[in-house]
């Protein structure tokens, strides 16, 4: 692709994303959107890899700081799980496609022989964020990033936490709550006799207040599900 045509393409992308071109060195964004296969074929052309390295660190920092601000009663494990649910290839590649960043990269003749994947899309988004930081500063890059990640702060999946009972206990204790109890009862499903399965229903109580409920084939599983239910409810309460 002719360099002037590519520059115009990059400028249009920035304008479409609401980014003022005043004072910007467009070459930084051209670098952020250049694949290694193109730089391998054209001497003295820089590719996105070094900016991707910087962008990765910026995104992790911004998301970590935002989680710390929004969820002051998290413990380290919960904060880490929440960050992982946001900063991953699937999320970042989804945004990269949504913003059409990935539609405006330049590549060499042998790029994506085996198909394009989420990792590539994610890497270009990280490089783009780094370019924003370099040309517009950390405040601008942070606002742009949080605007596009906002919905993902509400999608944390605590089911992946190995020990939700410990997580909810530490979370509640951090707010001064110490009297946590689980109350479990046996239940049976309403299927045919041969299909009947004995189930447990457990509720997590703080004093006489029900903080979460769960059902499982064992008491242990039901308590875990009650803890997960309480985690979801408590994190929603804290953010609101």
Rounded Cα–Cα distance for residues 63 and 147 (Å): 12
Rounded Cα–Cα distance for residues 128 and 10 (Å): 11
Neighbours of 109 (CB within 10 A): 9
Sheet holding 198-206, edge to edge: 180-188, 198-206, 209-216
Rounded Cα–Cα distance for residues 33 and 26 (Å): 11
CA distances from 155 to 49, 149, 232 (A): 29, 11, 10
Strand bridging mode 180-188 / 198-206: antiparallel
Catalytic status, residue 229:
no
Rounded Cα–Cα distance for residues 126 and 104 (Å): 14
Query: Annotated catalytic residue: which of 31, 123, 126, 229?
Result: 126
Catalytic status, residue 123:
no
Which regions of 31-179 does DSSP assign to beta strands (E)? none
Burial class (CB in 10 A: 0-12, 13-18, 19+), 181: exposed
CB 213 within 8 A of CB 203: yes
Query: Annotated catalytic residue: which of 31, 56, 66, 223?
Result: 56
Residues with a catalytic annotation lie at 56, 126
């Amino acid at each position: 692709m002719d360099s002037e045509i590519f520059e115009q393409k990059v400028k249009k992308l920035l304008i479409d994303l609401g980014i003022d071109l005043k004072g910007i060195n467009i070459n930084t964004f051209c670098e952020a959107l250049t694949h290694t296969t193109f730089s391998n074929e054209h001497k003295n052309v820089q590719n996105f890899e070094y900016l991707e390295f910087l962008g990765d660190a910026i995104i992790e920092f911004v998301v970590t700081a935002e989680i710390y601000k929004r969820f002051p009663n998290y413990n380290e494990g919960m904060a880490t799980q929440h960050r992982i649910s946001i900063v991953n290839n699937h999320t970042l590649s989804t945004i990269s496609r949504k913003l059409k960043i990935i539609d405006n990269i330049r590549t060499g003749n042998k790029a994506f022989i085996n198909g394009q994947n989420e990792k590539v899309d994610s890497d270009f988004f990280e490089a783009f964020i780094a370019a924003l930081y370099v040309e517009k500063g950390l405040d601008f890059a942070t606002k742009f990033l949080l605007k596009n990640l906002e919905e993902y702060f509400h999608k944390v999946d605590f089911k992946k936490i190995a020990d939700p009972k410990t997580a909810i206990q530490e979370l509640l204790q951090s707010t001064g709550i110490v009297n946590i109890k689980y109350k479990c009862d046996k239940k049976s499903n309403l299927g045919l006799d041969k299909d009947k399965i004995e189930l447990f229903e457990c509720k997590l109580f703080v004093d006489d207040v029900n903080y979460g409920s769960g059902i499982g084939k064992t008491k242990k599983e039901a308590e875990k599900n009650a803890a997960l239910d309480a985690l979801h409810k408590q994190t929603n309460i804290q953010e609101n």
